[in-house]
Amino acid sequence: MDEILEILEKDGRATVEDIAKMLRKSPDTVKKAIKKYEKEGAILKYKAVINKDLIRDTESEVRALIEVNIVPQKDLGFDKIAERIYSFPEVTSCYLISGTYDLLVVVEGKNLHTVSNFVAEKLSCLEHVRGTATHFLLKKYKEDGVILKHKSENKRIAISY
């Protein structure tokens, strides 16, 4: 992979000037390369990794990983059904995987009920879906290569009599 892409993948906030200094290239050369990557679709988005545990209120979102077993469509394979699944607004990511299941779908909802309704009413009833296994995320330790710090827990003092 190109060095400019590697730098941006690790730090999307790196400026053109910073990248140019690191690579000993002119800022104009770096800027043109970035624009080209954006136009070609190699760079799709810049994003921040946010530790939601530190900013959440009492109504936090629920995230689930759903393994989906599907029957591929003739002449279309997995792509058409995957496209149908990742089109739902609840789906944040969708991957073709090896193993017992075919797709790994990441879903977010306001609560467990929202996610379970999505699975029961939208996902499981699709024609080519043969089965699902839902796993709710309880705690994140690391995301996109970044170790997430957590709020210190209230530690109870032992009481003895």
β-strand partners of 24: none
Q: Does residue 158 register a pLDDT over 70?
A: no
Q: What is the CATH classification number for the domain harbouring 77?
A: 3.30.70.920
Residue 149: per-residue pLDDT = 80
Does 26 share its domain with 78?
no
What tokens appear for 11 in the block?
Answer: 């730090």
- Between the alpha carbon of residue 22 and those of residues 30, 37, 111, the distances in Å are 11, 19, 45
What tokens appear for 136 in the block?
Answer: 């709710």
Whole-angstrom distance, CA of residue 75 vs CA of residue 85: 18
How many domains, in total, are found in the chain?
2
Q: Does residue 143 register a pLDDT over 90?
A: no
Please compute the mean of the pLDDT values over residues 121-134 and round it to a whole number: 96
Please compute the mean of the pLDDT values over residues 75-102 and round it to a whole number: 95
Residue 63: domain span: 59-140
Average pLDDT, the chain: 90
Does 32 share its domain with 104?
no
Lowest mean pLDDT among 70-79, 104-113, 139-148: 139-148
Does 117 share its domain with 67?
yes
Residue 115: per-residue pLDDT = 96
Does 84 share its domain with 133?
yes
What tokens appear for 127 in the block?
Answer: 């024609």
Helices within the chain (DSSP H only): 3-10, 16-23, 27-40, 79-86, 112-117
Does 65 share its domain with 135?
yes
Residue 49: per-residue pLDDT = 80
**Model pLDDT for residues 32-83, shown as the tens digit of each residue:** 999 999 999 999 999 888 777 777 665 568 999 999 999 998 888 899 999 9
**CA torsion, points 103, 108, 109, 115, in degrees to nearest 10?**
20
